[in-house]
Amino acid sequence: MKKEPTRGGLIAAVHRPQDLPERLRPAVAFVGRSNVGKSSLLNRLLGTRAARSSKTPGKTRGIYFYETNEGHQFADLPGTGFARASREERGGWAELGQRFFCDGGAVLAVHLIDPRVPDSPIDLETRDGLSDLGVPRLVVATKWDRLSAAERAVARRQLAAIHGEIIPVSAKTGEGIETLRREIRRRLI
């Protein structure tokens, strides 16, 4: 009897482009700046502490694929921007990500953005790069719980003007998580 993979279970850890699996199930890629909360959000969505998270930027150093038990996988990609890594290592991450997206590894990119920095050049570059590759993008404002009501209103307007529709979430409190789950499912149908 074949055992079903466990929700949140690590399926693969890929650190070099040549190690990417040839046949991937549809993957939802989680992308964004270093320390924006990709791994924490993944853990919240999966309902388990599968992805390693840290206060130190740059802990994700490859593409980590997680089981969702919903017919697709989640792919946690290295953060863009600041990370304590050599230029060569960061260049390797860029090559790995480029190959993953160019080979059709992602059917949807969940682009995580810090609402306190709505016009970050790195986020604008990510937005434009995903668009150039034809990868559909879902924009998520993370760490929403850290903003006051007034800051939320300003951030929502700024983010919408720059990135279009956003889904505000908090991995800490769970705010917006079900909305994000539903939107991911809707986009994959």
Sequence-separated contacts (24+) of 14-22 with Cβ below 8 Å:
14/62, 14/63, 14/64, 14/65, 14/96, 15/61, 15/62, 15/92, 15/96, 16/92, 16/96, 17/95, 17/96, 17/99, 17/100, 20/63, 20/96, 20/99, 20/100, 20/103, 20/105
Q: Would 115 be classed as within a structural domain?
A: yes
Is pLDDT at 19 greater than 90 in this prediction?
Answer: no
Q: Would 166 be classed as within a structural domain?
A: yes
Is pLDDT at 129 greater than 70 in this prediction?
Answer: yes
Of 38-52, 101-115, 134-148, 174-188, where does mean pLDDT reach its minimum?
A: 38-52
Give the pLDDT confidence score for residue 185 in this predicted structure: 93
Q: What is the mean pLDDT of residues 9-25?
A: 77
Is pLDDT at 71 greater than 90 in this prediction?
Answer: no
Question: Domain range for residue 116?
Answer: 28-188
Is pLDDT at 148 greater than 80 in this prediction?
Answer: yes
Give the pLDDT confidence score for residue 70 in this predicted structure: 86
Residues 6+ apart with CB under 8 A from 50: 8, 9, 10, 42, 43, 66
Return mean pLDDT, the chain.
83
Is pLDDT at 59 greater than 90 in this prediction?
Answer: no
Q: Would 22 be classed as within a structural domain?
A: no
Q: What is the mean pLDDT of residues 12-31?
A: 80
| Residue keyed to tokens 């760490």 | 143
Biggest CA pair distance of the chain: 55
CA-nearest of 33, 143, 11, 150 to 80 is 33
Is pLDDT at 50 greater than 70 in this prediction?
Answer: no
Domain tally, the chain? 1
CA distance linking residue 125 with residue 123, whole number of Å: 5
Give the pLDDT confidence score for residue 74 in this predicted structure: 93
Is pLDDT at 56 greater than 60 in this prediction?
Answer: no
**CATH number, domain containing residue 147:** 3.40.50.300
Of 8-22, 144-158, 168-182, where does mean pLDDT reach its minimum?
A: 8-22
Is pLDDT at 67 greater than 90 in this prediction?
Answer: no
Q: Would 7 be classed as within a structural domain?
A: no
Q: Would 87 be classed as within a structural domain?
A: yes
Q: Would 118 be classed as within a structural domain?
A: yes
Local confidence band at 53 (pLDDT 50, 70, 90 cut-offs): low
Q: Would 16 be classed as within a structural domain?
A: no
